[in-house]
Structure 1
Amino acid sequence: MQKQLMAVFIALTVSQSVQAAELVTEKATLTIDTVASGLKHPWGMTFLPDGSMLVTERNGGLLRVDTNGNKSAPLSGLPEIDARGQGGLLDVTLAPDFATSNKLYFSFSEPGSDGNSTAVASAILGTDKLSDVTVIFSQQPKYDSRHHFGSRLVFDNSGKLFITTGDRGSQRHQAQKPDNHIGKVIRINTDGTAAQDNPYVNDAAAKAEVWSYGHRNIQGAALHPQTGMLWTHEHGPQGGDEINIAEAGKNYGWPVITYGEEYGGGVIGQTKQDGLEQPLHYWVPSIAPSGMAFYNAELFSGWNNNLLVGSLKFGQLVRLELSGNKVSHEERIMIGQRIRDVRQGPDGAVYLLTDSSDGEILRLTPAK
């Protein structure tokens, strides 16, 4: 199925929220193809070397989708998953040496006696099953919660694995404490041990796996193609979604500073405070961001090194043009479905996952 899409863009000046932006109609159109449908709340996807995809479903399914859109049966071998609320089988990524090891990594909500938490496991990919499944990270402490699992997975250029976590919804105060994994960016070796150049490896009062802290719920993360820095976005409460560059040992403020407010209204904190990092971009009202990718192909002329972000709330793909570490222009592309993940395909097209009980993989290309 194919349709033409008219884009709308929003011109922004740096540090302004979307509320203050000017709406302008874009002249160009895009083409959307439905690659596959019938997915059950798909959450994460990654491309295999042959161009096919692995796609996670939040209810616990891991599927192969070939280049013609044919879906496999769910692969067997997954561990027990607490698939409730926002929890379930979440992100998936390939090991840097996948071509020789066939190893992948996936995040999921792990049940336990004290509740549940974000966990990450490694496994060997077979034709129809996973083997050698090993949990390498388990967020501590666990809480009985259906919310804010974070869960994006990104390898840095040295082969260390970044894991994003959330504040579990009810544990926002823990995000300010580096002695736990709540509301953090985690950085580990592939065997689960803390990377030795992490900021807290020699601090007995902190978790050695912690890279940065003061985060609410990070559902988008990507490595900048030139600088190698980790860019993230996180959900604000009612407004105040943020884009940050996650740097070692830095405090990104939640819940002490935020541009959002309590659901239904009410002040949470200040917008600025000395010693706490300001977002490089934020949205008021909230767009509910999920999924993030830097575009670095030639298929979309003029999109090179742009940042692409999915919007759950407005059903949009948000394209951000950058000037160094600043957003210089924002474009909203109306998709009309909740966008959960965003990836650049090996063909240079942009692939989107839509979050619904009949979720789809969409392929965006320039209109011919």
Structure 2
Amino acid sequence: MKLLTIPIGLAASLSLLALPLASCSAASAPAGGGQVAATEQQGADETFAITDIGTFEEPWALALEPGTGRAFVTERAGAIRFVSPDGKAGTLSGVPKVDYGGQGGLGDFIFAPDYAKSHMVYLSWVETGQGDTRGAVVGRARLDCATPSSCALAELKVIWRQVPKVSGRGHYSHRLAFSPDCKYLFVSSGERQKFTPAQDMSVNLGKIVRLLPDGTPAPGNPFAAKSGIASQIWTLGHRNVLGLAFDAQGRLWDLEHGPKGGDEINLVKPGQNYGWPVVSNGDNYDGTPIPRHATRPDFTAPAISWNPVIAPGDFIFYSGSAFPEWRGQVIVAGLGSEGLVRVAIDGESAREVARYPLGTRIRDIAQATDGSIWVIEDGKHGRLRRLAPAR
């Protein structure tokens, strides 16, 4: 079928599409690490009925507001805009000043697990340091909406920072995810293209950290006995983690950019070391080889890796009814692969099932309560698109 495009003002039928609030209940190295085999290729017009909702400037994160269906999108230069199901568009005030450039700027945006009561949101961005340095930070604020098209971030407070701030404008990662029991905030912290910090326990670069909702280190973290920065750390040896998500079993997974080859999905287990930059299933951009995961079984190997890369943006575990055969599987937003990549989880390993070309770089992805998939394109004039089953 042909792609369907409608203007924002005609989007009134797109109601009840927000993800529900998180369900707050308690909840050996993977055999993966090999390259993926050829998989099914299916055109978007065979799979999806696509509705264009609006356009955004260099969007980075997409979040659907629980209960209202409004889509909130961060733009890297330092704006947050939203579109409601009835087509009303708005912009948030009170957004922090960001260090914009390279891969940096405004980052992730998520709703607190108790958002219906607290109206709290969490966001990440890049701030300037002394000299030619910068680093990612995480803040939380209350979302105040005076009207359906007028909202503000109130009482914004920084609760976590990358340490140390360094030069360069790459590999911030700064993705956010709450645990299913709603007690812990996980933050991905890239190694900032500096390689060795990923193995240095005195810094939080190249790590995934586990925090309490106020940003303090969570009790019981695997390296808490070391105190200092190490008390934040959940896992280490990461390069550039652009996706964090929990599966239906309450297990945390990440989606990580490799170098020249070696994009990967990892099952994230406390205290594990994922090997970067000592090992990878890709090589350096200058062509120099990196030892493969198979050479170092003391590091945790990925559940799946890609070579050539898919250059992922983010991912979700699909749980909806619109695409029933996708339930329990990973749906990856592909930048370099310009579409969606569907991945099945087999225990602690993973395998690619299918690809759905969309013809543009896809930066972020979200699932609505009706099971439709929402994606946001990368770059200038990135479209916000709703993907429903083709009829």
**Contact 1:52 1:65 (C-alpha < 8 Å) held by counterparts:** yes
Q: Secondary structure at the match of 2:198?
A: helix
Q: Which of 196, 199, 212 is equivalent to 2:219?
A: 196
* CA distance in structure 2 between the aligned counterparts of 1:365 and 1:42, rounded to whole angstroms: 21
CA-based RMSD of the aligned residues comes to 2.1
Aligned to 2:243: 220
Structure 2, unpaired ranges of 5+: 5-30, 146-150
Aligned to 2:178: 155
Q: Which of 310, 313, 320 is equivalent to 2:343?
A: 320
User: Which digits, 9 at most, give the CA deviation of each residue in 1:60-88, with x for residues without a partner?
Assistant: 1111211144421x311122210111011
Say if 2:114 is the partner of 1:90: no
**Contact 1:87 1:149 (C-alpha < 8 Å) held by counterparts:** yes
Residue identity opposite 2:60 in structure 1: W
Deviation for aligned residue 1:206: 5.1
Q: Secondary structure at the match of 1:29?
A: helix
* CA distance in structure 2 between the aligned counterparts of 1:279 and 1:336, rounded to whole angstroms: 28
* CA distance in structure 2 between the aligned counterparts of 1:276 and 1:283, rounded to whole angstroms: 18
Deviation for aligned residue 1:107: 0.7
In the superposition, the TM-score normalised over structure 2's length comes to 0.86
Aligned to 1:50: 68
* CA distance in structure 2 between the aligned counterparts of 1:274 and 1:325, rounded to whole angstroms: 16
**Contact 2:55 2:384 (C-alpha < 8 Å) held by counterparts:** no
Deviation for aligned residue 1:233: 0.9
Q: CA, structure 1 residues 142+32, in 2 after alignment: closer, same or farther (shift >3 Å)?
A: farther
Q: Secondary structure at the match of 1:362?
A: strand
Aligned to 2:15: none
**Structure 1 consecutive aligned stretches of length 4 or more whose deviation exceeds 6 Å:** none
Aligned to 1:239: 261
* CA distance in structure 2 between the aligned counterparts of 1:358 and 1:269, rounded to whole angstroms: 40
Aligned to 2:136: 118
* CA distance in structure 2 between the aligned counterparts of 1:27 and 1:315, rounded to whole angstroms: 11
Deviation for aligned residue 1:242: 0.8
Say if 2:278 is the partner of 1:256: yes
Residue identity opposite 2:98 in structure 1: I
Which protein is richer in helix relative to its size? Answer: 2
Deviation for aligned residue 1:38: 2.6
Q: CA, structure 1 residues 318+22, in 2 after alignment: closer, same or farther (shift >3 Å)?
A: closer
In the superposition, the TM-score normalised over structure 1's length comes to 0.92
Q: Which of 14, 35, 41 is equivalent to 1:17?
A: 35
Mean Cα displacement is larger for which, 324-333 or 22-31?
22-31
User: Which digits, 9 at most, give the CA deviation of each residue in 1:124-147, with x for residues without a partner?
Assistant: 101221111000001100012210
Aligned to 2:12: none
Deviation for aligned residue 1:15: 5.2
Q: Which of 51, 69, 81 is equivalent to 2:98?
A: 81
Deviation for aligned residue 1:361: 1.0
Q: Secondary structure at the match of 1:208?
A: helix
* CA distance in structure 2 between the aligned counterparts of 1:82 and 1:197, rounded to whole angstroms: 34
Q: Which of 270, 280, 288 is equivalent to 2:303?
A: 280
Deviation for aligned residue 1:14: 6.3
Say if 2:58 is the partner of 1:37: no
Task: Report the count of equivalent residues.
Answer: 356
